[in-house]
Structure 1
Amino acid sequence: MEFRKTHILSFIALLSCISVAHSWGVDGHFITCKLAQPRLSKAAANAVSELLGDNDLASLCSWADHVKFRYHWSSPLHYIDTPDNLCTYQYNNNLTEALLFLSHFIGDIHQPLHVGFTSDRGGNTIDVHWYTRKALLHHVWDDSIIETAEERFYDSNVDELINTLHKNISTVWANQAKAWEACSKTACPDIYASEGIKVACDWAYKGVSEGSVLEDDYFLSRYPVVNMRLAQGGVRLAATLNRIFG
């Protein structure tokens, strides 16, 4: 287990070094971990079970958001900021907690506005309206797009959304999923962050300014992007844990 602990902690340290706070909302993290669980190798699944006991990984995937006030050092690890309008990314305890941080941070790095611009704190200072409700642009990507999709398409049932993503990963995204898994190291956060800032520029920030009203045009064009990032996060979390635990 010491070997495994070293690999998990090394990955968390790597995220820290790239100066990676808000995050995917509860549903976003739940979905990411739920997508990862059935893709775990037997060794990885056994290791996760040993660390978490009777707890389900997905149910604990937001744990890192709840301990920011206890572990103050962890708060800046949930995001990466880039210089304004630079739409490319450049690299610059115990084992159970390490696993939960790792699972959470892989989800976070796939939320595009966690690689957002410095001056607006990843959309946290951009006030918009999500349909008729006031919201921050960051919150729209953390929660609102996912919640609106659940309400509109899945009768507010997150499990139905997860089932759809599972099916897409094994069918329409099957070839892409193999590419998402590929990594010559334990994990490849530089790749994930590079994708994130491109999505932030192309989709999250595009056409949005202070006071924008975001409705169906924005939602229907951005929802597939959110789905893809959730799927990528789940596939890569599983692949990372499989590499760690063998």
Structure 2
Amino acid sequence: MLTKKTRSTALRITNVMLAVLLCPVAAWGWGDQGHKIVAVIAADNLTPTAQIHVASILGAQPNKSATATAMEAAAILPDRPEFREEYPLTKPWHFIDICLKDRRIDVPGECHEGNCVTAKIDEYSKRLKDANYDRWGAAGDLAFLIHFVGDIHQPLHAANNGDLGGNCVIVDLRSLETNLHAVWDTTVVRDLEYEIDSGKPETTAHKLERTYAAEKELDAWVPGHTDDIAWESNQIAHSEIYEALKLPVEPCVPPAAVCGNKPKVELNSSYLDHADAIAGHQLAKAGFRLASLLNEIWTQPVAMNDTMHAASPAVVPIVSSAVTDQIVGNRRSKIYAWPGCGTYDKMAPENRVEFPSRDAAEQAGYRAARNCP
């Protein structure tokens, strides 16, 4: 596990509150930071053959750095607000509601009509291996696969306690409230980054790689065992989230359409420390397993231009927009910028804060830079 540093409770809670404040209310997956960490770890562990395929599909130079950057952009595409609004049918693809009362044998039955994260991982793995792409083309299908492998390792994306995967459990963080699912999606990951003293997904990814290097071979992807990974995440949610917070096991049927009277829980520093360690381990496993899966998909050299021609023209600009629309704020000056602004590339790494939109930046108290196009 990661070595813990001595920090005051007051500083710890301040960092957590800041992370929550900067997170979107609706939580899908690990959040941008977590998905980027998974992508970087995976990029670092691709075989040369798989790296060339991935770079070709995503329109990147065939080197590790460029491939990692392209994978980071692709990883967060399925969570972009404009993408979710245009393709709402993809919403259930990000999770599988395995009830805490379920047994391992019940897992396949919780994936209704193939619209869940386990089925979609298997589907997009096969599509990419067979070069049989759907409406989103090679680039879109690869973006989905990168994202969903991250999702399945977020414990609350494979668990349900009659609470919509923790979305109905209100969390009290010193008068700032959000839900338990959002805390695990984004707050815990941000806190993990601050603990590592990076604040950047790339630095965090490399730290996690070193920390869990001995487990890399154990985390090889085994085709046909996607349900086992979902069950593993479910059991982590059961013991490390629900039991740790002393939340009773509730029936999952009939499914909750809206949140009723669910408990409010307080997350103390000890719980958050433990959550950081669990999340870091899960992110490392996701990165190693994603690399192993991509290495298994592509074992033959890429044919010149074949994969790029297979990509849908409508997909590549969407993948690119995940980078070009990035809003970054300076936590010291409280000014935000975007590519093309004079200050965008001049911010010190430790001062950079990422936002999903300009509205989110302004709601957090930031103003736009005056030297932007």
Q: TM-score, normalised by structure 2?
A: 0.56
CA contact (8 A) 2:97 2:160 kept: yes
What letter is aligned with 1:142?
A: D
Q: 1:115: which partner in 2? A: 158
Q: 1:35: which partner in 2? A: 41
CA contact (8 A) 1:123 1:136 kept: yes
Structure 1 residues 159-238: aligned runs within 5 Å: 159-170=202-213, 174=214, 176-183=215-222, 185=223, 188-208=225-245, 209=247, 210-238=263-291
For 1:148-200, what per-residue CA distance to the aligned partner results, in whole angstroms no more than 9, with x for missing partners? Answer: 22234415233332221121232xxx1x32121041x2x63112101110000
What letter is aligned with 1:100?
A: A
CA separation in 2, counterparts of 1:244 and 1:31?
Answer: 21
| 1:71 paired to 2:77 | no
For 1:44-88, what per-residue CA distance to the aligned partner results, in whole angstroms no more than 9, with x for missing partners? Answer: 111111111136111221101122222222110000102343364
Q: When the two structures are aligned, how many residues end up with a matched partner?
A: 220
Cα 1:213–1:79 shift into 2, 3 Å: same
Pick the structure with more helix per residue: 1
Cα 1:127–1:180 shift into 2, 3 Å: same
Between 236-245 and 204-213, report the one with greater CA deviation. 204-213
What letter is aligned with 2:71?
A: L
Between 49-58 and 224-233, report the one with greater CA deviation. 49-58
The correspondence for 2:74, drawn from 60, 65, 87, is: 60
Q: 1:149: which partner in 2? A: 192
Cα 1:105–1:238 shift into 2, 3 Å: same
The correspondence for 1:83, drawn from 69, 93, 99, is: 99
CA separation in 2, counterparts of 1:38 and 1:84?
Answer: 35
The structure with the larger Rg is 2
What letter is aligned with 1:191?
A: D
Structure 1 residues 42-57: aligned runs within 5 Å: 42-54=48-60, 56-57=70-71
CA contact (8 A) 1:130 1:140 kept: no
Between 30-39 and 82-91, report the one with greater CA deviation. 82-91
What letter is aligned with 1:36?
A: A
CA separation in 1, counterparts of 2:55 and 2:194?
Answer: 32
Cα 1:131–1:220 shift into 2, 3 Å: farther
**Unmatched runs of 5 consecutive residues or more in structure 1:** 1-20
CA contact (8 A) 1:82 1:117 kept: yes
For 1:8-33, what per-residue CA distance to the aligned partner results, in whole angstroms no more than 9, with x for missing partners? Answer: xxxxxxxxxxxxx6211100100001
Cα 1:125–1:87 shift into 2, 3 Å: farther
CA separation in 1, counterparts of 2:233 and 2:174?
Answer: 25
Cα 1:103–1:119 shift into 2, 3 Å: same
CA separation in 1, counterparts of 2:94 and 2:30?
Answer: 10
Cα 1:86–1:114 shift into 2, 3 Å: same
Describe the SS at the equivalent of 1:129: strand
Between 190-199 and 65-74, report the one with greater CA deviation. 65-74
CA separation in 1, counterparts of 2:59 and 2:103?
Answer: 42
Instruction: Name the Cα RMSD after superposition.
Output: 1.8
Q: 1:240: which partner in 2? A: 293
